[in-house]
Amino acid sequence: MSEIYRSACPLDCFDGCGFKVSVENGIIKRIDGDVSHPFTRGFICPKGRALADRIYGPHRLRHPLLKREGKFVSISWDEAYDIIVKKLDYIKRNFSTLSVAHYYESGSGGLLRSLDNRFFNIYGGVSECSGSLCWGAGNSAQAMDFGMPLSHKPDDMLNSKLIVLWGRNPVYTNIHLVPFIERARKKGAKVLLIDPIATASTKLADYYYSIKAGSDALLALGLAKTIIERGKEDRWFISNRTNGYEKYLSLLKRLDMGWVLHETGLCPEDILNIAGLLMENRPATCYIGYGMQRHAGGGNAVRAIDALWAVLGNVGVRGGGVNYSHRLMSRYIDDGFYAADRATAKREFLRGEMATFLEEADPPVKALFVTKANPLRQIPDTGRLIKALNKIDFKVTLDLFMTDTCEVSDMVLPVTSFLEEEDVIYTTMSRTYLNYAERVIDRIGEARPEWEIFADIAERMGLEGFPHLTSEEWLEMALRPLKRHGITLEDIKKGYIEPPGSTEIPWQDGFMTESGKFEFLNFDLNIRAGDGDEGYTYRLITPHPKDSLHSQSYVGIYDLPYVYINTGEAEKMGILDGDKVLVTSPSGELEGLARPSRAVPVGTVMIYEGQYGVNRLTPIATADLGGQAAIYDARVNIRRL
């Protein structure tokens, strides 16, 4: 007979699902969506359902591994700890704690997964990654405009007359939003999709416009100019609730609409039609995807959309809002949880510039620790990163699986999955809930949770500040700010809870900016995406696939990726479906299998991210805000082999 446990999805995703896990004789039999979860509502995506199989899969790490003479051998935890302690002590005595680097991402959600940062702080502070490969530019943009990024509840779109999916593909990446969109359509709302690629979400849309990748800011500015010229701006909202409008208006007056048309690939009628939809259907809500901010001007692209919504008066009202992320919960994690005050030294490097940092660091990096991440599949310019990693004396990766990064490491430590430990899991990518995840099964092999590993190392090094607490004690420490609002860990165990301050309508009662008002953007009009590299014809974009999150479903898979190209352009080059092709960029090259598609616009090559070798093609470049990697500014050529 099955036992049913409560858990939550650890994947770095918009939806933050609640799980019900069926267990028989200590073995996971099935993962289902929790019917009682206000957003999950009983169904989950294939990525979530597949987590059980992955936990028991052949690539699961079960023992500590040490590389000897080029091959990994199993070692005991005691031996692993002894080696790490000796290395860290030696580096601290003879160089600097800054000669230790820590790279981490969001590969597995959960509060306790972040205790790795506590260890490196009490060690004295190390070289630590900052910035973003994913969404940082947009978060910084909305912090400038609103004070912080906040989203509406998804059911608020039932109050919308128009739903704009701007670069968002919920059918692939946000499936629990889809039922809300469908309900809103039945109630009479129209859906507008703006995306370079004709994604699966076109089936949700009443209107679809394909624009050139990286032209989002210019489109938003062009639409605002068109609306204001027709006197359809919300003058009351602009006068009473915004700051900086005159400078913004001056920017729009200088905007050449001919340039907008050229850069977006739209015609004048398209601009008028989109502007008409916006003017005639208020309130309108906008859901922004995570693509546009990965261009050189990505932060200002999000700011331009925010400004367009302010011009229309679609901010701080039911059925309105620009929904990018929801960072409220970050205010309710206790400062002492990470022991940041214990770091006496600090050096940061941007995630997207990791290879450059490792090449140029002074003092040089002698040891690298990687947690919750697979940089060899995630970081731009993979070839350059491999060379930089090979020069580091000692590399340790903590993971569930033997990833590419594990394979180039000197030591690999097996960690537990989300079903082998209790935790509190939540997403800040959208408006969801705090999820309690109880321990469901025993640990597999010799796997240990990250926080226990670092507590053991700290104890052996004689470092104070990382006591051997229980998981529940750590969670209670982290959530102390919630207790001041009457929310305890026991409350979270009983049900799904929103963080305090989750107002029904964000910005209805004011903004978190210094002025207390919405801040209009003002910047140089040279805001197109990166100008590209001479001699390279196509823009490469690497969106998210349906059934994998980043590289997690591609562990051990080195198949040639599909390379999508416009059908007409493929015909001109004599490229047929399934042909082997070579994609080249200034950074490197990649073989793949051609997949001509009418969904891909002229001048664009598309390869789904997470697959082996894709980031050989992407450049080391940084966007305008948030330390964001401008991965989508890759330029490539393609030819048949």
CA neighbor of 302 nearest in space, from 207, 228, 217, 242: 217
Q: What end-to-end distance do the CA atoms of the chain give, in Å? A: 56
CA neighbor of 541 nearest in space, from 294, 206, 257: 294
pLDDT value, residue 529: 47
Residues 106-116 pLDDT 10s: 867 799 999 99
Tell me the two tokens of residue 510: 């004011």
Residues 485-504 pLDDT 10s: 999 999 999 999 888 888 88
Backbone angles phi, psi at 408, to 5 degrees: -95, 5
Calculate mean pLDDT across residues 81-109: 94
d(CA 478, CA 14): 23
Residues 392-404 pLDDT 10s: 999 999 999 999 9
Other CB atoms within 10 A of residue 457 CB: 18
pTM above 0.75, yes or no: yes
d(CA 67, CA 335): 37
Q: Are 190 and 207 in contact (CB under 8 A)?
A: yes
Residues 65-85 pLDDT 10s: 999 999 999 999 999 999 999
Residues 312-321 pLDDT 10s: 999 999 999 9
The one-letter amino acid at 263? E
Lowest-confidence segment of 46-60, 173-187, 500-514, 520-534 by average pLDDT: 520-534
d(CA 136, CA 150): 14
Residues 608-626 pLDDT 10s: 998 888 999 999 999 999 9
CATH 3.40.50.720, domain 538-640, yes or no: no
Q: Are 285 and 163 in contact (CB under 8 A)?
A: yes
**Angle of helix 77-94 versus helix 450-461 axis, rounded to 10:** 60
Classified as helix, coil or strand, 551 is: coil
Q: How confident is the model at residue 553 (pLDDT cuts 50, 70, 90)?
A: low
Other CB atoms within 10 A of residue 348 CB: 11
- With a CB cutoff of 8 Å and minimum separation 6, the contacts of 452 are none
By percentage, how much of the chain surpasses pLDDT 70?
97
- With a CB cutoff of 8 Å and minimum separation 6, the contacts of 556 are 58, 59, 401, 402
Calculate mean pLDDT across residues 141-166: 97
pLDDT at 311 over 70: yes
d(CA 128, CA 349): 6
Calculate mean pLDDT across residues 598-603: 96
- CATH number for the segment(s) 3-55: 3.30.200.210
**Domains of the chain by residue range:** 3-55, 65-133+345-483, 136-324, 538-640
pLDDT value, residue 531: 54
Calculate mean pLDDT across residues 569-574: 96
Lowest-confidence segment of 86-100, 216-230, 521-535 by average pLDDT: 521-535
Residues 399-436 pLDDT 10s: 999 999 999 999 999 999 999 999 999 888 888 789 99
CATH 3.40.630.30, domain 136-324, yes or no: no
Calculate mean pLDDT across residues 561-580: 96
pLDDT at 533 over 70: no
The CATH architecture one would assign to domain 65-133+345-483 is 3-Layer(aba) Sandwich (3.40)
Mean pLDDT score across all residues of the chain: 94
d(CA 552, CA 549): 6
Q: Which residues pair with 412 in a beta bridge?
A: 65, 397
pLDDT at 222 over 70: yes
Query: What are the DSSP E strand ranges found in 334-441?
Result: 347-350, 367-371, 394-399, 411-414, 423-425, 435-437
Q: Are 458 and 116 in contact (CB under 8 A)?
A: no
Residues 116-145 pLDDT 10s: 999 999 999 999 999 999 999 999 999 999
By percentage, how much of the chain surpasses pLDDT 90?
84
